[in-house]
Copies of this chain bind each other. A is one copy, B any other.
Amino acid sequence: MKAEIIAVGSELLLGQITNTNAKFISAKLAENGIDVHYQTVVGDNPARLDEVLEIAKKRADVLIFTGGLGPTKDDMTKETIVKHLGTTLVSDDEALLYIQQYFERSGREMTENNKKQALVFKGATVLPNRKGMAPGMAVEKDGVRYVLLPGPPHEMEPMFIDEAIPYLLGVLGKIEVITSRVLKFYGIGEAELEYRIQPILERQTNPTVAPLATSDAVTLRLTAKAESIDEALKLIAPVEEEIRSIVGEYIFGTDEDTLASKAADLLIGKGWTISAAESLTAGLFMAELAGESGISSSLEGGVVVYNERTKTEQLGIDTDLLDEFGVVSAECAAALAANVKRKFGTDIGVGLTGAAGPDPHDGKPSGTVWIGIAMKDMEPETYKLLLSGSRNVNRLRAARFALFYLIKHLTER
Contact = CB atoms under 8 A, between A and B. Distances in A.
A286 B299 CA distance: 17
Nearest to A359: B293
A301 B287 contact: no
A157 interface: no
Interface string A1-34: 0000000000011111111101111111110000
A15 B26 CA distance: 5
Contact of A41 (B24, B30, B39, B291): B39
Given A37-B13, A41-B22, A306 B314 contact: no
A285 to B, nearest CB: 7
A145 interface: no
A59 interface: yes
Interface stretch (A94-102, A230-238, A276-284, A400-408): A276-284
A28 B15 contact: yes
A290 interface: yes
Contact of A14 (B15, B18, B27, B314): B27
B291 A395 contact: yes
A300 B303 CA distance: 11
Contacts of A278: 283
Contacts of A358: 293
Contacts of A307: 296, 300-301
Contacts of A19: 18-19, 22-23, 39
A70 interface: no
A38 B41 contact: yes
Contact of A290 (B15, B24, B299, B395): B395
Contact of A285 (B12, B39, B283): B283
B284 A287 contact: yes
Interface in A264-320: 276, 278, 280-287, 289-291, 293, 296, 299-307, 309-310, 314
A39 B37 contact: no
Contacts of A302: 283, 303-304
Contact of A15 (B24, B291, B299, B301): B24
A125 B305 CA distance: 53
A253 interface: no
A303 B283 CA distance: 9
A299 B293 contact: no
B14 A36 contact: yes
Interface string A49-65: 00110010001000000
Nearest to A291: B392
Contact of A51 (B59, B299, B305, B309): B59
Contacts of A48: 37-38
Interface string A352-371: 00001010000000000000
7 contacts: A38-B40, A39-B41, A283-B286, A283-B287, A283-B304, A296-B306, A301-B305
Interface of A: 12-20, 22-30, 35-43, 48, 51-52, 55, 59, 212, 276, 278, 280-287, 289-291, 293, 296, 299-307, 309-310, 314, 343-344, 356, 358, 391-392, 395
